Structure 1
Amino acid sequence: MARGKIQIKRIENDTNRQVTYSKRRSGLFKKAKELTILCDAKVSIIMISNTNKLHEFISPNITTKQVYDAYQTTFSPDLWTSHYAKMEQELRNLNEVNRQIRKEIRRRMGCCLEDMSYQELVFLQQDMENAVTNLSERKYKVLSNQIETGKKKLRNVQGIRQNLMQAYDALREDPHCGLVYNGGEYDHVMRSHLVGLHFPREAHIPSAGGSCLTTYTYLE
C-alpha cells in the first residue's frame, strides 16, 4: 500500500516537529555519508535546529575550512572580509570603552580635569563624596565587627579565669592543700605548684587517717 503524500508545511506540534527533524537529519547525514563513500565526494552539512542546536556532518577526508576555501576559490565570494570588519569594529569599541574607563580613573585621582566643564566637575565631586561616605560606613562596620569579636574573646577569657579561681578556692579548702605525701609524711609545698603534681595510675594510699585525697611528689 502506497504512502500518502505529505504536505510540506510547518509542523505545529512541538513534539512532532522535533521528532521529524531528528529523523530527517539522520537520513540526510546517512545519504551524505553514502555519497562520500560511493562517489568520493567532499560533503559538508551544517544544520541548526529551532532550539539553536548545531548539528554538522563533514566527510572524513576534508575539513570544514577546506570546504569553505574551496567554495571561495570556485565562486570568489567574500566570506571573511565582512567578518573581519565586524571583529575590527568590536575591537575599536572595546578600546574606546577601555580609554574612557582609564580616563575616569585618572579624573578620580585628580588628573585630566582640564577638559571638564563646571557641571561635570560638580557631578564628579558628588560621586567622590558618595564614595567616601560608602567607604566610611564600610570601615566602621568592619571596626564594629572586630570590637564585638574582641569582646566575645574577652568574655571567654574572663569565664576561664573565673573557673580557675573557683577551682583554686575549692583546692585551698582541702585539709591537705599545700602538702605532698613523701614516704609516710606530708611535706609543705607552695599552692601554686600543685598544678605540677604527677598522679600515678596505681597510687599507694597511706594507712593514716584523714582525707582520701592524697597528693604525690612532683614530676619535675
Structure 2
Amino acid sequence: MVRGKAQMRRIENATSRQVTFSKRRNGLLKKAFELSVLCDAQVALIVFSPRGKLCEFASSSMEETIERYRNQVKEVQTENSATVEDVQNLRQEAEIMGNKIKVLELSKRKLLGEGLGSSTIEELQELEHQLERSLCIIRARKMHDYSEQIEELRAKEKLLASQNAMLNGKCLVQTKETTDERRANFQTLNFGESSDVDTGLFIGLPVKKNQTR
C-alpha cells in the first residue's frame, strides 16, 4: 500500500505533531551524520523543539563550525558591499562620461557652425579663437608634410643623377671598346690587302708588258 503524501502545513494535533517531530528529527540527524561520513563534510545541525529543547549534531566541534560560518558570512557580506559600491561607482562614472559626451557633441556642432543661436558673445569669441588655433596647427602640419615631400624628391633626384652618371660612364666605356674593335678590324683588313703587292727589288728601267722584243 502506497503511503499518501503528507501536506506541508502545521499539524494541528499536538500529539501527532510531537510524534512527527521526533521521527523527522531522528531522520535529519541520521542524514547529517551520513553526509559528514560519506562526503567528508563539516556538518553542524541545531534544532529546537516546540518546547524549546535543544537537539544538535556536529561532525567536529560545534563552536569551530559556528565560528567558520560567521567568518564566511562576514566575507560574503563584505564582497556584496564591495560589489554594491563598485556598481554605484560605475554608475557615477557612466553618468559623468555621458555628460562629457553631451558637452563634446555640443562643442562639435558649434565648431561646424550649428546651434550658434543660443551662444553668447564670449562663447562665440572663444569659438573663433579655437578655430584660429586649429587653423594654425593645420597649416603648420601641412608645411611640415610639404617639407618632407620636398626632401624626399631631392633625395630621389640625387639618386637618379648618380644612376644617370653611372650609366653614362658605362655607355662611354662600351662606345670606346666598340670603336677600338672596329679600328682593329679595319687595320687587319688593310694589312691583308697590301700583302698581295710584289715588293721584290728590281734595278733598271721598268718593263712594259705590251713591249715587243
The TM-score, its normalising length taken from structure 1, stands at 0.46
Q: Which has the higher contact order (CA 8 A, sep 6+)?
A: 1
Query: Whose Rg is larger?
Result: 2
Q: Which structure's residues are more often helix, by fraction?
A: 2
